[in-house]
């Protein structure tokens, strides 16, 4: 498995890139751009709490001197996982004490794997008139297409319980779905030439709409070419 990138390391790199911009870099020109990105995607969710290296590409256009619009596609390279153990089902009769329910409970290991195939966002970027270093504020919406797989493995079965009972037997569940919500963040566009920018960028995707937690922090370095 590839080494995972922590968000603080990405942030340190972002500040280094911004500080190292050449003083003589010219203002970029143009009305449309394409770009690529490399960074980390960290998920804090009920299902998993893990991170992955992520690659991406984007395209955008300037609506005015102060507003850009952008479509961004991010492709995580690793499966996000989480494992824990605990009671799953108890064979204690109704009305049993807590101790009796625990004694007759099956202890199960739960292994969850989340594969995010794409994270697609459409955003508006607000910024001052573009210069050598141009900060920006990002607001938009995001959608992740993912597949969650959960494996149930019994570790301890109470005495007298049939190991072939469907409630006890090892099994796996898998489902694909889309989750999404608002995204917001910030970036600093550093002009390297009239057409080329290096853009440290950080975004937070809020997907906890309803009872389930699904939030993502994305940090990246972007290369942007203006036409």
Summarize pLDDT for 208-218 with one digit per residue, the tens. Answer: 887 889 999 99
Give the pLDDT confidence score for residue 5 in this predicted structure.
45
Residue 20 has pLDDT above 60, yes or no: no
The mean pLDDT value for 30-46 works out to 94
Count Cβ atoms below 10 Å from residue 28 Cβ, excluding itself: 22
Contacts of 220 (CB under 8 A, 6+ apart): 10, 37, 38, 39, 40, 54, 56, 200, 201, 202
H or E element in which residue 217 lies: strand 214-226
Percent with pLDDT over 70 in the chain: 87
Summarize pLDDT for 156-189 with one digit per residue, the tens. Answer: 999 888 888 888 889 999 999 999 999 999 999 9
* Cα 45 to Cα 15: distance, rounded to the nearest angstrom: 28
Residue 26 has pLDDT above 60, yes or no: no
The mean pLDDT value for 53-73 works out to 97
Q: What average pLDDT does the chain have?
A: 89
CA distances from 45 to 7, 115, 183, 204, 216 (A): 17, 13, 16, 13, 8
Q: Which domains does the chain have, with CATH numbers?
A: 7-81+115-145+178-226 (2.40.160.20)
The mean pLDDT value for 191-203 works out to 96
- Look up residue 14 and give its two tokens: 């972002």
Range of lowest pLDDT (5-9, 132-136, 163-167): 5-9
Give the pLDDT confidence score for residue 163 in this predicted structure.
83
Give the pLDDT confidence score for residue 30 in this predicted structure.
63
- Banded model confidence at residue 11, pLDDT cuts 50, 70, 90: very low
Give the pLDDT confidence score for residue 154 in this predicted structure.
93
Beta strands in 46-104, from DSSP E residues, in sequence order:
49-62, 67-76, 80-90
């Amino acid at each position: 498995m590839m080494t995972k990138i922590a968000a603080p390391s990405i942030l340190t790199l972002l500040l280094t890139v911004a500080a190292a911009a050449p003083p003589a870099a010219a203002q970029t020109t143009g009305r449309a751009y394409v770009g690529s990105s490399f960074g980390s995607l960290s998920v804090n969710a009920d299902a998993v709490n893990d991170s992955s290296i992520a690659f991406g590409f984007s395209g955008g256009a300037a609506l005015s001197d102060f507003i850009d619009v952008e479509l961004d596609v991010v492709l995580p390279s690793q499966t996000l996982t989480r494992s824990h153990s605990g009671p799953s089902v108890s064979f204690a009769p109704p009305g049993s004490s807590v101790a009796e329910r625990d004694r007759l409970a099956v202890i199960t290991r739960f292994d969850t794997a989340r594969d995010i195939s794409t994270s697609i966002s459409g955003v508006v970027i607000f910024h001052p008139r573009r210069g050598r270093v141009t900060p920006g504020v990002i607001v938009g919406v995001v959608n992740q297409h993912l597949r969650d797989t959960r494996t149930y493995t019994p570790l301890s079965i109470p005495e007298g319980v049939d190991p072939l009972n469907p409630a006890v037997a090892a099994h796996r569940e898998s489902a694909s779905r889309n989750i999404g919500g608002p995204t917001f963040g910030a970036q600093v566009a550093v002009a390297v030439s009239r057409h080329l920018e290096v853009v440290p960028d950080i975004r937070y995707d809020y997907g906890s709409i309803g009872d389930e937690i699904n939030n993502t922090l994305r940090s990246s370095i972007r290369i942007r070419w203006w036409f």
